[in-house]
Amino acid sequence: MSTLVFLEHHGGAIQKGSLGVLARALAVGGDVAGVVVGHGVAEVAASAGAFGVATVYTVDGPDFEAPLPQPRVDALEAVAAASGAENILFAASVLSADIAAGLAARLDAGLNWDVTDIAIDGGKLTARRPALGDTVLVTVGWTSTPRIALVRSGSFEPVETGGTAAVHDVAVTPREFSTAARMVDQAHEEASGPSIEDADVIVAGGRGLGTPEGFRLAEELAAALGGAVAATRAVVDAGWYPYSTQVGQTGKSVSPKLYIALGISGAIQHKVGMQSSGTIVAINKDANAPIFDFADFGVVGDLNAVAPKLADLVRARKG
């Protein structure tokens, strides 16, 4: 069984999510190769060797410099043909979701998304994914090859093994329509601390924080724990916190080791984005809030009193 893992990179570094999917693919077995697409990416591609992959394909050239999906569909189509890959795996991100969907359409291939695990069953790839609003986990498969999967962010951790990768360049001329879109500007948000996709600890705030200024409580607790701050849609829609921090059905899916929810009711649309977190702690003044139905630990109380004390305790324990 041969598997390609799309290695998304930004700023010269392969994304943690892609390296996690690579680690899982290598653990599952078969011939696994990485794919790096961009301009001047030989070094980035070679860096994947430290994560145990022996072969990395590159598609390298100015047409692939901007992180746009359509030229990458052409690139992956060519690498899939050159390598004869049966499986093509992506770690979910805004970019890779577009590429995976475009590639599935191009190759007339099946795409399973929101995958949380993969395995081999009878020589074929199978996957696990949540269904029915994350209330059950189901096993899914594909009826044809290549099998394309988009893996939920945070499902797997990268495993650094050491080693080197042989880099094979595949020459690709993108189709005319694939280069019709041009990136005119790219902005990076200034951020300190880990992103919510990478953080082991997330402190999430909801409408219970009361005002935009209330997020200071979430930020202080996150800083004490070395974590990141996330938010519900209700508060990002209200302009209290950036959209990039929204967790849920129309936001990001996260799986930190610890998720602390401050003043969050636990609506199903929020739950689907965070319920695979290791330990969920909820602080809510309403004992009947739905979040207590799926939290591991709950504090019924006013977050204005509880959150600062919790931050003090964490700091004292660390000190």
Ligand X SMILES: Cc1cc2nc3c(=O)[nH]c(=O)nc-3n(C[C@H](O)[C@H](O)[C@H](O)COP(=O)(O)OP(=O)(O)OC[C@H]3O[C@@H](n4cnc5c(N)ncnc54)[C@H](O)[C@@H]3O)c2cc1C
**Residues of the shown chain interacting with ligand X in the complex, contacts defined by CB under 6 A:** 206-208, 232-235, 246-251, 263-265, 267, 269-270, 273, 283-286, 289, 302-304
- Which CB, 136 or 287, lies closer to ligand X? 287
Residue 285 C-beta: closest distance to ligand X, Å = 4
Tell me whether residue 179 or residue 249 sits nearer to ligand X (CB atom). Answer: 249
Rounded Cα distance between 301 and 319, Å, is: 26
Give the three-state DSSP class for 110: strand
User: Nearest approach, Cβ of 266 to ligand X (angstroms)?
Assistant: 7
Provide long-range contacts, Cβ within 8 A and 24+ apart, for 246-250: 247/196, 247/202, 247/204, 247/273, 247/274, 248/272, 248/273, 248/274, 249/273
Q: Are 146 and 3 in contact (CB under 8 A)?
A: no
If the CB atoms of residues 243 and 257 are measured against ligand X, the closer one turns out to be: 243
C-alpha separations of 13 from 43, 48, 178, 225, 227 in Å: 10, 10, 25, 26, 21
d(CA 138, CA 89): 18
Rounded to the nearest whole angstrom, what is the least distance from the CB of residue 298 to ligand X in the complex? 11
Q: Based on CB atoms, which residue is closest to ligand X, 244 or 304?
A: 304
Residue of minimal Cβ distance to ligand X: 248
Report d(CA 116, CA 152) in Å as an integer: 6
Q: How far is the CB of 148 from ligand X (least distance, A)?
A: 24
Residues listed for the chain: 319
Nearer to ligand X, 6 or 113 (CB): 113
User: Of the two residues 16 and 270, which places its CB atom closer to ligand X in the complex?
Assistant: 270
Minimum CB–partner distance for residue 224 and ligand X (Å): 19
Between residues 194 and 298, which has the closer beta carbon with respect to ligand X? 298
In angstroms, what is the minimal distance from the CB of 6 to ligand X? 25
| Of 181, 169, 170, 174, the residue nearest 63 (C-alpha) | 174
Task: Give the whole-angstrom CA distance, residue 121 versus residue 127.
Answer: 10
Residue 257 CA to chain centroid, in angstroms? 14
CB of 299 to ligand X, least distance (A): 9
